[in-house]
Amino acid sequence: MRDVLILNGPNLDRLGTREPEIYGSLSLSEIGDSCVEFAKAHSLRIDFRQTNDEAELIRWLHEAADRSLPVIMNPAAFTHYSVAVRDAASMLTAPLIEVHLSNPLAREEFRHTSLVSGIAHGTISGFGANSYILALQAMLNL
Ligand code: DQA
């Protein structure tokens, strides 16, 4: 059994009602359930978390660094401006995969910069809720 931490940043707790034309109609807990289901079938154990608080996300990244845990992270808006989240993620020793529901490169220009991509093993964007499953699939092969 391999533990994987899945971390979600601000406003992702609003999925389901938040701009469904961009982010889809599934809630974050439904996305979490599908990750847990995938994980069970692939000998992974998922710890799926969300916060609107930058400091909390940083604490979770520190915990992942201390426990050498692989991380799948949707940093949401923090992606585009948080040097602090990037610095915390830089301390991870196990793989980090960045995920996004939408494809930020196909959206407003301020979303074209990711401070996280440069320190992630890879990024999966634009596949809606399936981005998370694709990230888990990728994690299995790392
Ligand atoms: C997002 C894309 C970000 O630009 C945005 O701020 C989000 C969600 C995504 O999953 O598509 O909150 O990370």
Of residues 133, 3, 17, 18, the one with CA closest to residue 77: 18
Instruction: Return the CATH number of the domain spanning residue range 2-131.
Output: 3.40.50.9100
- Please state the length of the chain: 142
Q: Is 100 touching ligand 1 by the criterion CB < 6 Å?
A: yes
By most ligand atoms within 8 Å of CB, the mutation choice from 74, 80, 105 for ligand 1 is: 74
Atom nearest to 74 CA in ligand 1: 13
Q: What is the pLDDT of residue 30?
A: 98
Is residue 42 annotated as a catalytic residue, yes or no?
Answer: no
The DSSP string of 57-111 is HHHHHHHHHHTT--EEEE-GGGGGT-HHHHHHHHT--S-EEEEESS-GGGS-GGG
**Full-model pTM:** 0.97
Q: Give the model confidence (pLDDT) of 5-57 as tens digits.
A: 999 999 999 999 999 999 999 999 999 999 999 999 999 999 999 999 999 99
**Tens digits of residue pLDDT in 80-128:** 999 999 999 999 999 999 999 999 999 999 999 999 999 999 999 999 9
Task: Show me where the domains of the chain are located.
Answer: 2-131
